[in-house]
Structure 1
């Protein structure tokens, strides 16, 4: 897996490179000190995951994330920041970031987060999801058509995704095989035009269809 580090502090970039390359499955292909350089490297090379700081010179992490996800939809962006959760984090996720971890994360957890993002199964760091959701919630009005493209089974899957359940947990809950769950998850994300699980959470809260007790209530039918 090819990783690009975008962090304006050279010493931290070196430390991150060393921490990540402990895993033989991770290659840090490039490390740069600003968002503009990150965008140019993604434009020119195959990069699987960008580990992106938010506050950098020339081009900040939010705008760099938006440009990278536009240029290379298959490239995943994992935000790395000192901030627990603020408007910048929400903006980065809206721009296409697939996950978010803080700089005090344990080395093994950081490596796992990068692997999870590459696999498409990333979630927000523990404790962060609630904070980000709190910024998104703002008493949304339920959209009766938000889940119209989904079947009844897919709505169950969607609810469990938003509740933070893994594929194995979803399978155990619904008595489905892991491969069947993966097929359903792909269908749900595809029908709703979502990049990944993180954006499913955003979609749920922005449209007022967040799950109760791990399941979604049946959506109202439009007249």
Structure 2
């Protein structure tokens, strides 16, 4: 594919990604050393990258030592497996945000396992450079969920063995939709013309009804059970 016509858009998205990550501490784990070098060398993102590795063991070590807020991992690593790495990270540090980039999209069961473990974002490597990375980072960094449309069949099979305890109201679904897109309580309040405290009240009701561990888990359940629309960019 000739990416030349897309270069200006890619540069603009790179600047936007830098803005999204202004408070982030990012660790990268990938076997693609070229992609790693390009990302770390980018002026808009380099200061947010606190560690980078090409193996699963090194990735675990970096998280233990550097306490990042976000890990971006590819499924293919030089040693170990990126999906297993994400599952391990979520088990040990549940609040750590994770974004998984997959090149082997047919591994539906393993991708489902990562989602079930709490991985907040999953996108195909083939969609990088087309706006998907920006959309994913916007959602994940804001506490939302991103699953690229190509991988949604795998996502829908997660949590299918249970259902909400109570029906959500229309306003609760509105709030949950905006949570899934990575919006803060303040941004949700502005969009719905209510106070942040009112948003918090709606979220408490949502998490009780689903039930959910936190707002991100609530967004996952809402999407799995088709309670809300997918947060497409």
TM class by shorter chain equals: 0.5 to 0.7
Query: Counterparts of 1:160 and 1:80 in 2: how far apart (Å)?
Result: 28
Q: Which has the higher helix share?
A: 2
Change (3 A) 1:60 1:136: same
Tell me if the contact between 2:176 and 2:222 (Cα under 8 Å) persists in the aligned partners. Answer: no
Which residue in 2 is equivalent to 1:45?
66
2:123 match: 101
Mapped contact 1:80–1:100 kept (Cα < 8 A): yes
**Structure 2 stretches of 5 or more lacking a match?**
1-23
Change (3 A) 1:210 1:113: closer
Task: Find 2:147's aligned residue among 124, 136, 140.
Answer: 124
Aligned 8 A contact 1:162 1:210 in 2: no
Query: Which blocks of at least 5 consecutive residues in structure 1 are unaligned?
Result: 215-223
Deviation per CA, 1:89-146: give whole Å up to 9, x if none.
Answer: 2111112211112223227642453343122123223x24632344448xx4664xx3
Residue 117 of structure 2 corresponds to residue 113 of structure 1 = no
Deviation per residue, 1:160-183 (Å, 9 max, x gap)? 6369864567975xx542625642
Note if contact 2:26-2:51 (Cα within 8 Å) is conserved in structure 1: yes
Moved more, 104-113 or 68-77: 104-113
Partner of 1:67: 88
Per-residue deviation, 1:38: 0.9
Question: TM-score w.r.t. structure 1 length?
Answer: 0.68
Tell me the TM-score normalised to structure 2 length. Answer: 0.65
Question: Hey, what does 1:183 align to over in structure 2?
Answer: 200
Query: How many pairs are equivalent?
Result: 199
Q: How does 1:3-42 map to 2 (within 5 A)?
A: 3-19=26-42, 21-23=43-45, 27-42=48-63
Higher mean displacement: 36-45 or 108-117: 108-117
Please give the root-mean-square deviation of Cα atoms over the aligned residues, in Å: 3.7
Q: Distance in 1 between matches of 2:119 and 2:132?
A: 18
Where 2:147 maps in the other structure, the secondary structure is coil
Conserved in 2, the CA contact under 8 Å of 1:82 and 1:102? yes
Are the aligned partners of 1:78 and 1:117 in contact in 2 as well (CA < 8 Å)?
yes
Q: Which residue of 2 aligns with 1:193?
A: 212
1:63-105 Cα distance to aligned partner (Å, 9 max, x none): 2212222332332000112244622221111122111122232
